[in-house]
Amino acid sequence: MARRLTYTFDNGPWPGTTERLLDFLAEREIKATFFVVGERLQDPESRRLTVRAWQEGHWIGNHTLTHTTPLGRDGDRARVEREIGETEKLLGDMAHPRKFFRPNGSGSLGSHILSPDARDFLVENKYTMVTWNSVPKDWIDPHRDWLDRAKQDLETLDWPLLVLHDKFIGDMVDTLAQFHDHLLDQGVEVTQDFDPTYLPIDQGVTRPDLADLVSA
Ligand SMILES: [Zn+2]
């Protein structure tokens, strides 16, 4: 049974749904990290939501500019600078000082995640790369079934680093309430920080297992 859990919400913000998620997190005094897609910040309403999340104490991380082909499959220096560097500029002061970056990879970890140029860029610019160990696939219909999958992960993982998506959870915050109540019942501590095991690059310092996430 898990002792701790970290919440992360990816791919947003989504005006009309992220608000409901932020309301819930505020009401329950939960702090999370939002990994936002850079190009979404060009929309003023989305930008306002990210500012709100930041002001309410959530950490804001970089989740690429376009969230398209993973960088391990298409990641020369120019594309990396655009996908990661441009997003960091759009985040500005909202970017966490540890420069959290989460690559996109359809929920799976492997050499499709980073190119050698992407790795070098992250190291040179002292980013912290955040991966995951619990992806209950809230994007799959029926969406509400994420709850059972996440509960199963709680049984087997010591410290789930949970990936959810505001686009879906914002429309079913009652499921998040159920999950959170379950955590509290089980005595699981919710923490905003990440298990270092899932930081293959920490402020520019790499771990040996990073090699598994870099294409040849
Ligand atoms: Zn994503």
Q: Which residues contact 111 (CB under 8 A, 6 or more apart)?
A: 72, 212, 213, 214, 215, 216
Query: Helix or strand or coil: residue 191?
Result: coil
Mean pLDDT of the chain: 97
What are the backbone angles phi and psi of residue 114, rounded to the nearest 5°? -135, 150
Cα–ligand 1 centroid distance for 65 (angstroms)? 11
What are the backbone angles phi and psi of residue 6, rounded to the nearest 5°? -120, 130
Position 106 scores a pLDDT of 84
What's the count of helices (H) and strands (E) in the chain, helices before strands?
8, 9
Cα–ligand 1 centroid distance for 67 (angstroms)? 6
Q: Give tens-digit pLDDT for 178-213.
A: 999 999 999 999 999 999 999 999 999 999 999 999
Position 137 scores a pLDDT of 97
Position 27 scores a pLDDT of 98
Q: Read off the CATH number of the domain in which 46 is found.
A: 3.20.20.370
Helix (H) or strand (E) holding 8: strand 4-10
Q: Which residue has the higher pLDDT, 192 or 106?
A: 192
Cα–ligand 1 centroid distance for 37 (angstroms)? 8
Q: Find out whether the peptide bond into 142 is cis, omega within 30 degrees of 0.
A: yes
Average pLDDT of the segment spanning 107-114: 94
- Could you give the CA distance from residue 202 to residue 200 in angstroms, rounded to a whole number? 6
Cα–ligand 1 centroid distance for 160 (angstroms)? 17
Residues that are catalytic: 10, 165
Q: Give tens-digit pLDDT for 27-53.
A: 999 999 999 999 999 999 999 999 999
* pLDDT reading at 11 higher than 90: yes
Average pLDDT of the segment spanning 132-147: 97
Position 66 scores a pLDDT of 98
Cα–ligand 1 centroid distance for 166 (angstroms)? 11
* Residues with CB in 5 Å of ion ligand 1: 10-11, 104
Q: How many domains does the chain have?
A: 1
Query: Helix or strand or coil: residue 216?
Result: coil
Q: Using pLDDT thresholds of 50, 70 and 90, give the confidence band for residue 85.
A: very high
Q: Using pLDDT thresholds of 50, 70 and 90, give the confidence band for residue 107.
A: confident
Domain that holds residue 181: 4-213
Cα–ligand 1 centroid distance for 106 (angstroms)? 7
Position 130 scores a pLDDT of 98
Q: Which residues contact 146 (CB under 8 A, 6 or more apart)?
A: 136, 137, 138, 140, 164, 168, 175
With contact defined as beta carbons under 8 Å apart, do 38 and 64 qualify?
yes
Cα–ligand 1 centroid distance for 104 (angstroms)? 5
Closest CA to 62 of 84, 43, 78: 84
